[in-house]
């Protein structure tokens, strides 16, 4: 079994590849044809809804409780959980734009709003994923090998489809 930090890092690196595409996608809103934009939007939307959202739920369910136990009252996972809520809202907003993207019918206001959603997703995810890497080190230094194996297995199992 792979180590917990390596497992988490590998998943985060795969996610970062998609996250890095969000600013370019936002810039395509005014610069590409509706068909070109839709062709770029759909795979990223699918990734976000089918892989990223389940990944967030898995991390929250499997790692955050253990981190709270280890850190006691010194630190809380509340900010990370709140970021998951914010990300969920942004994903919902992304979904609201999806029918207009598919129809090639984004108004100027839609373009501004969608661009804002994409940039916010990008910025929050950049920071959030970096923080997760730090928390993986906390777990690695404070858990037994067996505990780390259980958490790594939970991440790998829940995220078994490639991210």
Which stretch of 10-14, 42-46, 134-138, 159-163 has the lowest confidence by average pLDDT?
Answer: 159-163
pLDDT band at 90 (very low <50, low <70, confident <90, very high): very high
Residue 51 resides in a domain: yes
Which pLDDT value is given to residue 161? 52
Residue 72 forms part of a structural domain? yes
More confident residue, 55 or 36: 36
| Residue range(s) defining the domain that contains residue 69 | 4-158
Q: Please give the residue that has the higher pLDDT: either 100 or 135.
A: 100
* Average pLDDT rounded to a whole number, residues 57-81: 84
Q: What is the pLDDT of residue 163?
A: 44
What is the predicted pLDDT for the residue at 73?
A: 64
Judge whether 163 lies within some domain: no
Is 143 inside a domain boundary? yes
Whether 103 is covered by a domain: the verdict is: yes
- What are the b/e assignments for 88-127, b being 16+ CB within 10 Å? eebbebbeebbeebeeeebeeeebebbbebbebbbebbee
Domain total of the chain: 1
Is the pLDDT at 127 greater than 80? The verdict is yes
Cα–Cα separations (whole angstroms), residue 120 to 22, 86, 135:
9, 10, 22
């Amino acid at each position: 079994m792979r180590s917990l930090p390596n497992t988490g890092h590998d998943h985060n690196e795969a996610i970062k590849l998609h996250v890095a595409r969000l600013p370019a996608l936002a810039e395509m809103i005014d610069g590409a044809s509706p068909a070109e934009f839709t062709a770029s939007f759909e795979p990223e939307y699918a990734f976000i809804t089918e892989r990223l959202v389940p990944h967030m739920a898995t991390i929250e369910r499997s790692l955050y409780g253990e981190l709270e136990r280890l850190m006691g009252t010194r630190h809380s996972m509340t900010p990370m959980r709140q970021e998951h809520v914010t990300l969920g809202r942004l994903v919902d907003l992304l979904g609201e734009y999806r029918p207009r993207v598919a129809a090639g019918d984004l108004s100027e206001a839609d373009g501004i709003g969608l661009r804002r959603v994409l940039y916010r997703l990008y910025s929050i995810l950049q920071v959030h994923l970096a923080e997760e890497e730090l928390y993986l080190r906390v777990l690695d230094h404070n858990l037994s090998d067996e505990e780390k194996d259980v958490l790594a297995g939970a991440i790998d199992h829940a995220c078994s489809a490639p991210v």
